Amino acid sequence: MRRRLMRFLQQTMQTCTVSCRNGGSCQFDRNGFQACVCPTGYTGYFCDESPCDQYPCVNVGTCVVDPTQSQDFRCNCANGFTGSTCGDKTFCNLPCFNGGSCQIEPRGDTCVCLPGYVGLNCEDNVCSPNPCLNGGSCAVSQPGFQMQSTYMCSCPKPYFGANCELLCSLQCQNGGSCTVLGGLPICACPAGYSATYCTVITACEQAPCLNGGTCNPDASYPDGYNCSCLPQFGGNNCDQTCTVSCQNGGSYVLL
């Protein structure tokens, strides 16, 4: 008891000489040694260590010791950045042309282009210069892979293909014309004809001419044929009969 009293009297007569930093106070511990009592957020013998020593704030953010925060610090972020360590951007600095908009992405800013434009900065028009050959016209189509705009070519006959680069060159017969169906060239046959090259006559297969009439394939007619009728019959299919009573040896015909 006497020794403890003497130690207390010695401490009260001495001055605590440790230079504590950051608001720390020098005090004697129970064993009579001098030590710094640090405020919240600071550690070390001189209260000279803090979470800010590890430079947790990025993008030129400033670290401030703040005991009210869960990690005992907060970051004052520079303009254009936010987040607990200033790691999140609030601005997009990629130039986007032709009405494109800049979008912040984790892997880097990107431009979202209006339909018809492509490129890193939306600088390219998919239809300029015109990719369609042989007089084809270019039109913007719906965005495709990775939301990139694409185009479609309207090709004049007899051209086809993605860029109107192919010639429809089938040798179609009997007035047939080469056209494209499902991306492939075919012969469009007139009425009365069929087969790959319009070489098969189909107009007279059903014997449309009646009363002994003769069927003649003829693509100039709507049905692809005309009928040669016997004198007493007429009509498109020889289905009309002449009913006039001719006198004195006259004969009747349909005109």
CATH 2.10.25.10 fits 126-167, yes or no: yes
- Please give the biggest Cα pair distance in the chain: 173
If residue 3 lies in a helix (H) or strand (E), which one and from where to where? Answer: helix 2-13
pLDDT at res. 13: 54
- pLDDT tens digit string along 86-114? 988 888 888 999 999 998 887 788 898 88
Total-model pTM:
0.45
Output the average pLDDT for the chain: 83
Distances from the Cα of 153 to the Cα of 90, 125, 216, angstroms: 41, 14, 41
Task: State which residues of the chain have pLDDT below 70.
Answer: 1-13, 142-148, 244-255
pLDDT at res. 205: 78
pLDDT at res. 123: 92
Angle value at C-alpha 247, between 245 and 250, nearest 5 degrees: 90
Q: 126-167 and 169-200: same fold?
A: yes
pLDDT at res. 247: 58
pLDDT at res. 76: 94
> DSSP states of 169-202 as a string?
-----TT-EEEEETTEEEEEPPTTEESTTS-EE-
pLDDT at res. 127: 93
CATH topology of domain 206-255: Laminin (2.10.25)
Domain 169-200 homologous superfamily, CATH = Laminin (2.10.25.10)
